[in-house]
Amino acid sequence: MIQKVKLNADKLKHPVIGCLGLAFKADVDDLRESPSLDIVKRLMSENIGEVLVAEPNLATHEEIKLLPYDEVVRKADIVLLLVNHKEFSRLKTADLKEKILIDTRGVIK
């Protein structure tokens, strides 16, 4: 997944990567053993671009600044959907025109 983001980010001058979801699974706030959290932390540590994160089931996170998902989508060049929270299912490909979508859950139609 990191490599896929890198390949797409390399095409952009100042990539903004919008990560949707941190939780272990859909519609929960449990981050224990979350692959999504690991991906986000790795993207941040590798300085691939600016990383924006939305996790609708948490108000805050001690290490990662969380933003509303609509703001993350609006500002992102690359939208990385990591968890299929119900909020994200409202997104449509028309909402993401001119953005690079990496939908790991097959949610966006």
Mean pLDDT of the chain: 95
Give the lowest-confidence range in 17-21, 24-28, 76-80, 92-96: 92-96
In this structure, what CATH number is given to the domain that contains residue 86? 3.40.50.720
Total domains, the chain = 1
Res. 109: pLDDT tops 80: no
Residue 43: domain span: 2-103
**Is residue 80 in some structural domain?**
yes
The predicted-structure confidence for 20-66, as pLDDT tens digits, reads as follows: 999 999 999 999 999 999 999 999 999 999 999 999 999 999 999 99
Question: What is the amino acid identity at position 76?
Answer: A
Is 109 within the bounds of a domain? no
- The SS3 assignment for 51 reads strand
pTM over 0.85: yes
Question: Is the residue at 108 inside a domain?
Answer: no
Q: Is residue 27 part of a domain?
A: yes
